[in-house]
Structure formats: structure tokens, C-alpha cells
Homo-oligomer: A and B are copies of this chain.
Amino acid sequence: MLKEERKQIILNEVMVHNRVLLTDIAELVKVSIDTARRDIKELHDEKKLKKVHGGAISLGFYNHNVQDKNVYSIEKKLQIARKATGLLKSGQVVLLSGGTTNMELARVLPPGLAITCFTPSLAVASQLLAKQNVEVILIGGKLSKDSQIAVGGTAINMLSEIKVDVCFLGTNSIDSGQGLTEFDWEIVQMKKAMIRAAKKIVAPVISEKLNTVQRYKICNIEDVDVLITELAPEDKALESFRDKNIVIL
């Protein structure tokens, strides 16, 4: 097998699944892990994909900065995203915050699902545009450089004029005592506005973020209706959330 062929196969794999593990490549194209790593390095240098710990992920056009450091957390986010799509029904109006978990959610929305999605995130909007049956409405405003979502008065204003069925609120930190917290003040204001704009709040959270606290508070844990992690609902890491009147998935 020619090296260029291998690289093509790898690239294809990344396109389809958004990620690929080194061990999978080695298996797929029958080379050693080292060679697979070198191939990925070349593709990375050619800017065809992004090399990360454990493999590679696709180089979304809009996610230059918003990206993961390893492939395993993507796997977890995928599990979370799959659980989250189960909550959606055609005809609903949905609000998606930013973050990689919501990007993954946007990516795995079933093609048939016809919903309206509001989002202040470039990356999420970009993923949603690929879905034929999803109407995408961008929340405008000043773009925060690092999180790549619209923030500030304009955005909050726009949010104040809508009421959606459900909001998928990505969050950096969640704690059964302190609730949801965030380190960026502007984003906190956005998320508060998003909560006000939604009838129901779903928090998709990767388990690493459980029981961590940041500087500024978004809301109490009781304000969240559904908590989704990649863990089984009966996992003991979720114990402290069990008596909070939250649905845990």
C-alpha cells in the first residue's frame, strides 16, 4: 500500500467519523502504530486534520480554537450527544450554547429531525447548517475571541425576545452544592439569559467537569432539569446529584 493511499484512507476516516484512533489506523491500513503516527503528523502538517493525543480529529472550518486535546473526550461527548438527541422531537425550538459537546450534538442530530435551533456559537451553527431539516438562527453580537460565541448586550437582547422549548447548556463546571459556574463573566451573562429564554434546561456535561467550581455562578443546580453525562445514571460519581430533583441520563 502506498503511503499516499494510506493517508487518503485516514483522511476519509476522519471525515466520516470526525476522529480516528491511532490503533484503528494501524489496524485499518496494516502498519505499525509508529507509521500511523507519522502519517497523521504529515497530514497535520498539511493541515488536513488535527493531530491530538491518541489519534486525530477533523479540522472543522469554524473550530480553529474550539477544539479538544484528545480523542477520548470526543468519544465521551459523542455518547452524551446521542443521549441528548433522544430528548428532541421534530417541531421543537431549541437553544444550543457553545462548546464542543454541543458541537458534537449538532453533528449527530438525526437527518430526519426537523427543528429550529438558536445558537450564539459559530461552530455549532456551522455544524447545524449541514442538517437539511434544521432551521438555524444565529444569535448576533460581539464575538468572544476564545469561546467563539456571541456575547454582550446585543446577544442578550436577542435572547430576551425568544422562548424556546429546551436549552442545551454546555458548562465548564457543575457542582451539586455550588451549581453551575464559569470563569468568563460575559459568558456567564449569556448563559443566564439563555436560561431565562428556555422552558427546560438540559446540561450535557462530561464527567470530568462534575464537582468542579469556577469563579462566577450561572445558576443553582435545581435550575437544571436534565443532567446528561457519559456515565451510567447509577454511577456513583453522580450520587450527590441524585436528590436534587433532576433527571439524570
Contacts and interface: CB of A to CB of B under 8 A. Distances in A.
A150 B119 CA distance: 12
A224 interface: no
A125 B126 contact: no
A233 interface: no
Interface string A48-66: 1010111101000110110
A138 B143 contact: yes
Interface string A134-146: 0111111111010
A246 B141 CA distance: 33
A126 B8 contact: no
A215 interface: no
A135 B50 CA distance: 27
Copies in the complex: 2
A100 to B, nearest CB: 13
A208 B155 CA distance: 38
Contact of A142 (B3, B50, B135, B155): B135
A140 B3 CA distance: 45
A121 B15 CA distance: 24
Interface in A143-160: 143, 145, 148, 150, 154-155, 158
B148 A142 contact: no
A19 to B, nearest CB: 6
Interface in A114-138: 120, 122-123, 125-126, 128-130, 132, 135-138
- The secondary-structure label for the interface of chain A is mixed
A64 B143 contact: no
B122 A52 contact: no
Contacts of A138: 122, 138, 140-143, 150
A21 interface: yes
Given A11-B65, A137-B143, A140-B140, 8 more contacts: A2-B55, A2-B57, A8-B62, A61-B123, A64-B130, A122-B126, A138-B142, A138-B143
Interface of A: 2-5, 8, 11, 15, 19, 21, 48, 50, 52-55, 57, 61-62, 64-65, 120, 122-123, 125-126, 128-130, 132, 135-143, 145, 148, 150, 154-155, 158
25 contacts: A2-B52, A2-B55, A8-B62, A8-B65, A11-B65, A15-B65, A62-B122, A62-B126, A64-B129, A64-B130, A65-B129, A122-B122, A122-B138, A126-B126, A126-B148, A128-B143, A137-B140, A137-B142, A137-B143, A137-B154, A138-B140, A138-B143, A140-B141, A140-B150, A140-B154
